[in-house]
Amino acid sequence: MILRRDAQVPPQRACIRCGRCVQHCPLGLVPSDLSVALEQGDWEAARRMNVLECKECGCCAYVCP
C-alpha cells in the first residue's frame, strides 16, 4: 500500500512566462499569475483573478514547457 506521505511528488518547474498557458486556457484565465498568488497564500488576489472559475481541465499543464 502506498500512502500519500510516501508518494514521490516531482518538484514544480519554474515558470518561464512564455504565455502558452494563457493562450490555451479555455476560460481565459491567467494560470501563471494564479499559481503565484496561490503559492503565496494570497487568496484574495486569486479570487480577483477568478480562480473559482478554473475547471482544472489541465490544458495549462499540458502546454507548459
Q: pLDDT digit string (tens) for 2-60?
A: 566 665 656 666 889 999 999 999 999 999 999 999 999 999 999 999 999 999 999 99
The answer to whether 51 touches 34, Cβ cutoff 8 Å, is yes
Whether 36 maps to a domain, the answer reads yes
Q: Indicate the number of domains in the chain.
A: 1
Whether 3 maps to a domain, the answer reads no
Of 62 and 2, the one with more pLDDT: 62
Q: What grid cell was written down for 24?
A: 490555451
**What's the start-to-end Cα distance of the chain, in Å?**
33
What does the pLDDT read at residue 25? 97
Whether 41 maps to a domain, the answer reads yes
The answer to whether 21 touches 62, Cβ cutoff 8 Å, is no
The pTM score is 0.74
Q: The domain containing residue 54 runs over which residues?
A: 28-65
What does the pLDDT read at residue 18? 94
